[in-house]
């Protein structure tokens, strides 16, 4: 029996946060122009560089905003001519629509929800016009699809070396093994309330120097979305140009120590184990995964409701046991369900959750 006093979150975010990181937010406030804030923010940046194995040719910005702000940053800083936006679900479509809302010239290469975006399709689309930016989602939270961003980056940069390659990794960065240099990415971003296992409110952008230089050539970058301003202020003072969420940064600093101790590859292995076990459980009970085979996420398992169960009723029963998973997203509500096994969860935790589902459904 669970003795927790709140519902343990198995949704694709926000996720469970360990008590020590919640308590880290209770440290006394400091001025964001103090030397001790400089030490905190610079320390976080150096820890992120170490974790993601990036050198001086990459810049890292931790922003007080949700990950969506990096879509606006992409639109206002990295596109001078025309962009190609690859979509295969709701959040990749959000990027496409954001670029349109920035009054940019943007085309869409659209895959059916549940299908992955392949390098060959992107290369074919890029050959059709003079694009200077490409956006791809690494982990499509709405469908549980993991796109092959490393293979895409390799293929694209071989044929279009000057293109700005942008990856939305909001629900996978920090959980799956994603190395910016191996992906040959110019901007990759994430939110802390997903695989980082922290509260909402911060986002992290990893930026190539090529992207930083490109942004310098573009006007109308705004203020809060000014990539050049963000990077230059850090280079000059190791601080943020606007007032940051200091309490959340305390929590991030605490969590990064834990992540570095476990190691990027060990974290990725733990997430892979949870995903593989969940997929085997699905097969064992005669169900099917929703994503295209071979392109399943390791942080979000999206499962077809092959047994025609009432997912809302399942969540009501799970709530009595202080547990919660996600119904299908948007048009797939009731047609599939999603288990967000990211952040602090382990294989034994996944087994416990699935046992509860088996008992409720009498599997």
pTM for the whole structure = 0.96
Neighbours of 12 (CB within 10 A): 29
- Report the top-level CATH class of 25-261: alpha beta
Question: What pLDDT is stored for residue 6 in this prediction?
Answer: 85
Instruction: Evaluate whether 8 touches 356 at the Cβ level (below 8 Å).
Output: no
Fold identical between 8-16+263-361 and 25-261?
no
One digit per residue, the tens of pLDDT, for the chain of length 363 reads 334 578 999 999 999 999 999 999 999 999 999 999 999 999 999 999 999 999 999 999 999 999 999 999 999 999 999 999 999 999 999 999 999 999 999 999 999 999 999 999 999 999 999 999 999 999 999 999 999 999 999 999 999 999 999 999 999 999 999 999 999 999 999 999 999 999 999 999 999 999 999 999 999 999 999 999 999 999 999 999 999 999 999 999 999 999 999 999 999 999 999 999 999 999 999 999 999 999 999 999 999 999 999 999 999 999 999 999 999 999 999 999 999 999 999 999 999 999 999 999 999
What is the residue extent of each domain of the chain?
8-16+263-361, 25-261
Question: What pLDDT is stored for residue 4 in this prediction?
Answer: 53
Question: What pLDDT is stored for residue 198 in this prediction?
Answer: 98
Q: Which CATH number fits domain 8-16+263-361: 3.40.50.300, 3.60.10.10, 3.90.1150.10, 3.40.50.261?
A: 3.90.1150.10
């Amino acid at each position: 029996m669970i003795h927790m006093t709140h519902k343990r979150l198995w949704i694709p975010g926000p996720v469970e946060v360990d008590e020590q990181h919640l308590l880290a937010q209770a440290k006394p406030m400091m001025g964001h122009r103090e030397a001790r804030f400089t030490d905190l923010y610079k320390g976080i940046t150096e820890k992120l560089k170490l974790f993601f194995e990036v050198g001086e040719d990459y810049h890292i910005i931790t922003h007080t905003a949700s990950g969506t702000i990096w879509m606006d940053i992409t639109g206002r800083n990295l596109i001078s001519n025309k962009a190609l936006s690859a979509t295969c679900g709701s959040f990749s479509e959000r990027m496409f629509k954001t670029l349109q809302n920035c009054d940019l010239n943007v085309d869409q290469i659209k895959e059916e929800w549940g299908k992955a975006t392949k390098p060959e399709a992107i290369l074919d689309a890029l050959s059709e016009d003079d694009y200077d930016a490409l956006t791809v989602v690494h982990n499509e939270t709405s469908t549980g699809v993991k796109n092959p961003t490393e293979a895409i980056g390799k293929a694209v940069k071989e044929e279009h070396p000057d293109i700005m390659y942008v990856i939305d990794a909001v629900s996978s960065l920090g959980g799956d093994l994603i190395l910016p240099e191996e992906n040959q990415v110019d901007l990759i971003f994430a939110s802390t309330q997903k695989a980082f296992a922290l509260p909402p409110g911060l986002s992290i952008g990893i930026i190539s120097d090529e992207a930083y230089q490109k942004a310098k050539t573009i006007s109308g970058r705004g203020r809060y979305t000014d990539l050049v301003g963000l990077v230059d202020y850090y280079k000059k003072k190791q601080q943020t140009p606007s007032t940051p969420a200091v309490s959340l940064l305390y929590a991030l600093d605490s969590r990064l120590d834990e992540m570095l101790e476990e190691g990027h590859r060990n974290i990725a292995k733990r997430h892979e184990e949870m995903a593989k076990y969940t997929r085997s459980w699905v097969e064992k009970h005669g169900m099917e995964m929703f994503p295209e085979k071979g392109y399943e996420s390791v942080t979000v398992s999206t499962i077809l409701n092959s047994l025609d169960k009432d997912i809302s009723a399942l969540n009501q029963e799970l709530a009595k046991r202080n547990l919660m998973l996600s119904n299908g997203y948007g048009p797939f509500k009731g047609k599939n369900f999603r288990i967000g096994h990211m952040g602090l969860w382990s294989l034994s935790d996944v087994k416990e959750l699935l046992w509860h589902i088996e008992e409720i459904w009498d599997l």
